[in-house]
Structure 1
Amino acid sequence: MSGLAMGSSELLHHLLIDRAIKIVIVVAALGVVALGMAVIWRWAGRPRDRRD
């Protein structure tokens, strides 16, 4: 493999790893937002003195 092909292979590997890390960060952030929304929805969605 020539030096240019090896360099582009390493660059491609780096870019794929970078993209995977960014996807994991976004998915984790969406999970935290969803969890926070669910907690707020349950906490603020019902009056405290209401009995079912």
Structure 2
Amino acid sequence: MAIRAIRTLLPKCQSTDRELADMVASAAIQRGLSVSFDGADRGEIRVPYEL
């Protein structure tokens, strides 16, 4: 859902869906929020920040 919202608001965004998912997940985790994935790609999500 987040990716669809981002694509709607920022149609010229050049990041891939995977890159956007990683950014959203990373930001949520940093803020102590739980993360749930509903996309077809359920592979490993990179979290570039140390928690």
Q: Report the TM-score range of the alignment, normalised by the length of the smaller protein.
A: 0.3 to 0.5
TM-score (norm 1): 0.33
Higher RCO (CA < 8 A, seq sep 6+): 2
Relative to the length of structure 2, the TM-score reads: 0.33
Q: Which has the higher helix share?
A: 1
